[in-house]
Chain A
Amino acid sequence: EAGVAQSPRYKIIEKRQSVAFWCNPISGHATLYWYQQILGQGPKLLIQFQNNGVVDDSQLPKDRFSAERLKGVDSTLKIQPAKLEDSAVYLCASSPHADGEAFFGQGTRLTVV
């Protein structure tokens, strides 16, 4: 089966600019996650969707980050305006169940200069 697709793979922007990432989960997977992975650290959850509803967004910096999952399938994560400390790999993952076992995309590496 096709895996989790993410785009773009790489993005370089200047601070205060905006950026958006796209994720297409594995077909039929109800749960979708966005994680932020800063160099040298483990992934940290930003937001979790169950179908098109938000389950957990407690660690999402809502003053600058937003995410949506239209029709319970694809999802976009946006940062506006970006800060230098947002430089990281943004990982999308999906799961057929909300039990933690997840399938990850290859991620989008964001560099803010």
Chain B
Amino acid sequence: GNSVTQMEGPVTLSEEAFLTINCTYTATGYPSLFWYVQYPGEGLQLLLKATKADDKGSNKGFEATYRKETTSFHLEKGSVQVSDSAVYFCALTSNQAGTALIFGKGTTLSVSS
């Protein structure tokens, strides 16, 4: 079945450090890939997405590239801020209409000044 595996946290960084959170997936067909973020005390929100191979999703300085050959969708940011401290979830949907998001376990990021 479809599944998502993401690196375990917590990830602790200093402000302005480079961030990578690894995500790999198992899926039949051609899934769409997502990163969702959950800030403290808030609901899940979409951070970025990519719907086909080699697409790059980007938002708020974060980027992720859909790599079909390595079945990966790693999240990167060149310079993190304290305000980026949150839990990040990698997720996928299959290309079939009506299929809901399948999430990884989440990675907690803590950024200190």
Residues of A within 8 A of B (CB): 3-4, 31, 33, 40-45, 48, 50, 55-56, 91, 93, 98-107
Are A101 and B49 in contact, with the CB atoms below 8 A? yes
Q: Is A106 within 8 A of B43, CB to CB?
A: yes
**15 other A-B residue contacts (CB within 8 Å) besides A100-B93, A100-B99:** A41-B105, A42-B91, A43-B44, A91-B43, A98-B97, A98-B98, A98-B99, A100-B32, A100-B34, A100-B100, A100-B101, A102-B100, A104-B43, A104-B45, A107-B43
List chain B residues, Cβ under 8 A from A107.
Answer: 43
Interface of chain B: mostly helix, strand, loop or mixed: strand
Across-interface contacts of B4 in A (CB, < 8 A):
42
B92-113 contacts to A (CB < 8 Å): 92-93, 97-106
Q: Give CA–CA (A105, B43) in the complex, Å.
A: 6
Give Cα distance in the complex from A48 to B32, angstroms: 18
Interface membership of chain B positions 70-108, coded 1 if the CB is closer than 8 angstroms to chain A and 0 otherwise: 000000000000000000010111000111111111100
**Would you call A91 and B100 a contact (CB within 8 A)?**
no
Q: How large is the interface on B (under 10, 10 to 19, 20 to 34, 35 or more residues)?
A: 20 to 34
- B105 & A45 in contact (Cβ 8 Å cutoff): no
Contact A101 B46 (CB under 8 A): yes
